[in-house]
Structure 1
Amino acid sequence: MLLFIISSCSQSQKSKSEDVELELQTFISLLEYDFKVLEDEIKNLGNFVHYLFENKEKILSKADKNKYKFRGAFSNVSPNSDPNLSTIYISETSENKQEALELLYLTNSLDSAFRAIIDKHPVVSQVYFNSQLQINRLYPPYDAFSMLDPDLDVTSFNFYYFADEQHNPSKETIWVDETYVDPVGKGWMISLLNPIYFENDLKMVLAFDITLNDIIEAYLDKFDSNFVIIDSTGKLVAGKAKGIEALSLPPLKNHTYTQTITSDSYREEDFNLFSSKNREVRKLASQIILSSEDEYILRDSGVEIKVSAAKMSKLNWYVLDLTF
């Protein structure tokens, strides 16, 4: 009888472990499938931009050059914006305003293309491009007056330079998978970038932004498991509240810029497992990220929490499943 009980407990634990592994892999598969769909979408958008450059003279000859009215560096700024148009920003640092305007006219048709992507993919919070001509076209429109200084260098931010030839010599689509605070007020996010070259010249970097709130609402909230996502540096990406609390991290708030793009309002180390004041949490991060362990028992105040981990293939992220 004792042997039967021990065997039954062992089978029950094995079955529970297999269920946890299945749930973890299902979550990762869903996330990676949808991210692959977005990669295909931004490549198709890039193909359309190539078409615009290939037919530049014809398109410019018919372009509506009065579509956008500027007030300084800005056009179509909310709250009084046309919801069908992008917000346009041409920095005062632009050395060739005429070329920047030419790129604006050439890409006027992107407004409807951007809008279609937002409508089709709710997880994408904004679609835009940045150019070395110091022009940004972003949809949906936003309050650029209060969020951007008029003399920014748009190429100095990771959502541009991570895709340039120096950082991305393969010239392929690339994920900015280390979270950063969005300069136009959407909070923490990641970005998918597509550098657009024409005649060996980097004309622009197309981008899709996905906020962490969107990841939580679209993916994490669909599962009962206490998932927590961290990046390869140990920094929290997103997670269920109970899991975040168990890892001795502060609540993940939707940090935004309250003044201008240069005003950063959060301390990154507060959300990094390697910087935790809890020795067990630091050890957990080391075992999973540095030693590639896929299981760990987190002991805290006499409570044991089983942590199952799996690394994503598309992004440099780890998904943790905490079982209490």
Structure 2
Amino acid sequence: MRNTGYLVSLLLVVVCSCSPTDSAENSENWLELQAMASLMDYDLKELEDEIISLGQYTESLFEHREEWISKADQSKYRIKGVAANAAPDADSSMSSLYIPDLGQDLNAVMEMIYITNPLDSLFREIVKRRSVVSQVYFNSSVQLNRLYPPYDIYNMLEPDLDVTSFNFYYEGDEEHNPSKSAVWVQEIYIDPVGRGWMISLLQPVYYANKLMMVLAFDITVNDIIESYINKSNKTLLIIDATGTVVAGKNKAIEALSLPPLKNHTYTQTITSDSYRVEDFNLFKSKSREVRKMASDIILAGEKMYVLNDNGEKITIRAERIDRLNWFILDLNLQ
């Protein structure tokens, strides 16, 4: 996912923009933070381009729907109850299909399966090529979920879920997304198929002015930690526009008076059932200074804050990730 040439150019631009009077250390600190924020934004734009292209291809499948239905391999998926190709005995080259028991039109479901079978190879290729994308899928109003990599549907999902009732569907519908464009579910949420806390990128697919499905890429908090946070030796924290911690290093979590970490690390905490988003919100910190810092950075747009709390002095630099309205904080613990 990294674009090395872009990153080198970005670093050069930031270096050249620094004032000659800046200290070397200060320039270096800002350089890395600005580069990371810009790189994340660039990577997110690449994902948007990817899902838009996938959406256009999917629309073309519906434009030739009769052809795809007529030549479909109708034996490719064997539906048992509410699922097909479910783990642990799934074919890893194929998606899993979830068909909730809601009394829907099964003929419409089967047609949707046949039309969209060509998506399996594209879903698989995207997950392989895009390191931060943990799963690719769509949810359709005919009550069909097609998701890659395959997962254990029978043990993970109730048999009668309405796939259109979740934010990874309705945030992409015409009411919430009238522009019919790619849209991010910016606030983290728990993945119903067991991959922990995540964000999603959505792309609606229309045919004959009717919403046929919402495509989605999922990025887990673990993906963000491994792909960005752990690549730096700085004490970093990513928060969203509500002040909730999206990802961060353990030292940063502890320094801002957030709850004690369970299971030793934040990475393990956010994948456990005991994690609560509200416990990791800076506006709800027990420290008045932390709450003020969150207000100054998120609401007032400040890029630097010196936190004096319990005798500790922490210099905090902040950069905004524009595409998600998130903020990367660099905590200099003195």
Structure 1-normalised TM-score? 0.92
Q: How does 1:211-222 map to 2 (within 5 A)?
A: 211-222=220-231
The correspondence of residues 1-324 of structure 1 with structure 2, limited to 5 A, is 14-250=23-259, 251=261, 252=266, 253-256=268-271, 265-324=274-333
Q: 1:150 to 1:60 in 2, by over 3 A?
A: same
Could you tell me how far 1:194 is from its partner in structure 2? 0.3
CA RMSD of aligned residues (A): 1.5
The separation in 2 between residues aligned to 1:94 and 1:295, in whole angstroms, is 56
Aligned equivalents of 2:22, 2:42: Cα separation in 1: 30
* Counterpart AA for 2:175: Q
* Alpha-carbon distance in 2 for matches of 1:255, 1:231: 15
On the 8 A contact 1:185/1:257 being kept in 2, the answer is: no
Deviation, structure 1 residue 71: 1.4
CA shift for structure 1 position 12: 9.3
Q: How much has 1:280 moved relative to structure 2?
A: 1.2
CA-to-aligned-CA distance 1:125-163 (integer Å, 9 cap, x gap): 000000111100000001111110010000110100001
Q: Which amino acid aligns with 2:84?
A: S
Report sequence identity in percent.
Answer: 55
Question: What's the secondary structure of 1:281's corresponding residue?
Answer: helix
Deviation of residue 256 (structure 1)?
A: 4.8
1:197 aligned counterpart, secondary structure = strand
CA contact (8 A) 2:269 2:275 kept: no
SS of residue matched to 1:166: coil
Q: What's the CA shift for 1:58?
A: 0.9
Deviates more, 1:240-249 or 1:185-194: 240-249
How many Å separate the matches in 1 of 2:283 and 2:162? 33
Give the letter aligned to residue 208 of structure 2: E
> Which residue type is aligned with residue 140 of structure 2?
S
Displacement of 1:53: 0.6
Report the CA distance shift for 1:113/1:245 in structure 2 as closer, same or farther (over 3 A). same
Letter in 2 for 1:173: A
Secondary structure of residue in 2 paired with 1:133: coil
Letter in 2 for 1:312: I
User: Would the aligned equivalents of 1:86 and 1:111 in 2 still touch at CA under 8 Å?
Assistant: yes
Paired residue secondary structure (1:71): coil
Give me the whole-angstrom Cα distance separating, in 2, the residues matched to 1:256 and 1:25.
Answer: 29
CA distance in 2, matches of 1:322, 1:126: 32
Cα 1:319–1:257 change in 2 (3 A) is closer
Structure 2 distance, partners of 1:132, 1:93, is 12
Shift of 1:94: 4.7
Question: CA–CA distance in 1 between the matches of 2:316 and 2:281?
Answer: 17
C-alpha separation in 2, matches of 1:116 and 1:156: 28
What is the CA-CA distance between 1:268 and the residue it aligns to? 2.1
Give the partner amino acid of 1:180. Answer: Y
2:37 partner SS? helix
Task: Note closer, same or farther for the CA distance 1:136–1:257 as it changes in structure 2 (3 Å cut).
Answer: farther
Please list every run of 5 or more consecutive structure 1 residues that lacks an aligned counterpart in the other structure.
1-10, 259-264
For residues 12-56 of structure 1, what are the alpha-carbon distances to aligned partners after superposition, in whole Å with 9 as ceiling and x for unaligned?
Answer: 973322221111111011111111111111111111101111111
Deviates more, 1:287-296 or 1:164-173: 287-296
1:227 offset after TM fit, Å? Answer: 1.3
Q: Does the CA contact (< 8 Å) of 1:94 and 1:133 recur in 2?
A: no
Unaligned runs of 5+ in 2: 1-19
CA–CA separation in structure 1 for the residues paired with 2:228 and 2:258: 21
The runs of at least 4 aligned residues of structure 1 exceeding 6 Å deviation read none
CA distances 1:288-323 after superposition (whole Å, capped 9, x unpaired): 112211111111221100001121111110111111
Q: TM-score, with normalisation over the residues of structure 2?
A: 0.89
Measure the CA separation in 1 of the matches of 2:100 and 2:307.
50
Counterpart code for 1:35:
L
Q: Which amino acid aligns with 2:324?
A: L
